Structure 1
Amino acid sequence: MQTSSESIIVRAHVFVSGQVQGVGYRYSTQKQATALGLQGWVKNLTDGRVEAVFEGHQDTIDRMIQWCYQGPKSAQPQDVIIYFEEPEGLQGFEIRY
């Protein structure tokens, strides 16, 4: 039995730096990820970056990562670092504090 790449769930652990706090980045990330049907979470870090985890199909993860480079209108992301990890089977998408 073959498995298509579309059915494989992947996990991207993402760190976004630049002007990404105080501009609605977390809320916009949650809205975008939910619209794409991704699971995971997003939170602010004390060093000014935003950290997020996305779980879903590879093509959808790729679309979300591309979105992270732009973010909401008032954000100015400078760098996006991505680590691919083993999925944990997360449910829903939350903002963590």
Structure 2
Amino acid sequence: MDDEARLTAWVRGHVQGVGFRWYTRAKAKEIGGLSGFALNLADGRVQVVAEGPRERCERLLEWLSGGDTPGRADGVTEIWDTPRGGYAGFEVR
């Protein structure tokens, strides 16, 4: 079953100024079927919101948590919810 989901993830580490948001957008587009955004936060984290099939959101989360990201992700905190909609694709904010 591939229910629609909303993933909100906060990535800690050296993730600003290294192209992290742009690579996240590219990865979301590569996975396909995801909408949302990646946003730098004032405290140095990057917030990622992705909506789409849960399995695809889980693939993005796995990538965010893995060692293949630009910079250095020291940890990821995530919450799951129902999609809210309103996104036209996946963007960098």
Using structure 1 for the length normalisation, give the TM-score: 0.86
Q: Quote how far apart the aligned CAs of 1:86 are.
A: 2.0
Task: Give the letter for the 2:14 counterpart.
Answer: Q
Q: Note if contact 1:33-1:64 (Cα within 8 Å) is conserved in structure 2.
A: yes
Q: Note if contact 1:29-1:71 (Cα within 8 Å) is conserved in structure 2.
A: no
* Gap regions ≥5 residues in structure 2: none
Matched, 1:15 2:10: yes
In structure 2, the partner of 1:94 is: 91
Cα distance in 1 for residues equivalent to 2:84 and 2:40: 21
Q: Quote how far apart the aligned CAs of 1:40 are.
A: 0.4
1:55-90 CA-partner distances (Å, limit 9, x unpaired): 111111111001102353x41101100011220123
Matched, 1:54 2:54: no
TM alignment of 1:1-97, pairs within 5 A: 5-6=1-2, 8-37=3-32, 38-69=34-65, 70-72=67-69, 74-89=70-85, 90-96=87-93
Q: Note if contact 1:54-1:61 (Cα within 8 Å) is conserved in structure 2.
A: yes
1:6-31 CA-partner distances (Å, limit 9, x unpaired): 2x210001100001001110000000
Using structure 2 for the length normalisation, give the TM-score: 0.90
Q: Note if contact 1:20-1:50 (Cα within 8 Å) is conserved in structure 2.
A: yes
Report the structure number with the largest CA radius of gyration. Answer: 1
* Gap regions ≥5 residues in structure 1: none
Stretches (4+) displaced over 2 A: none
Give the number of equivalent residue pairs: 90
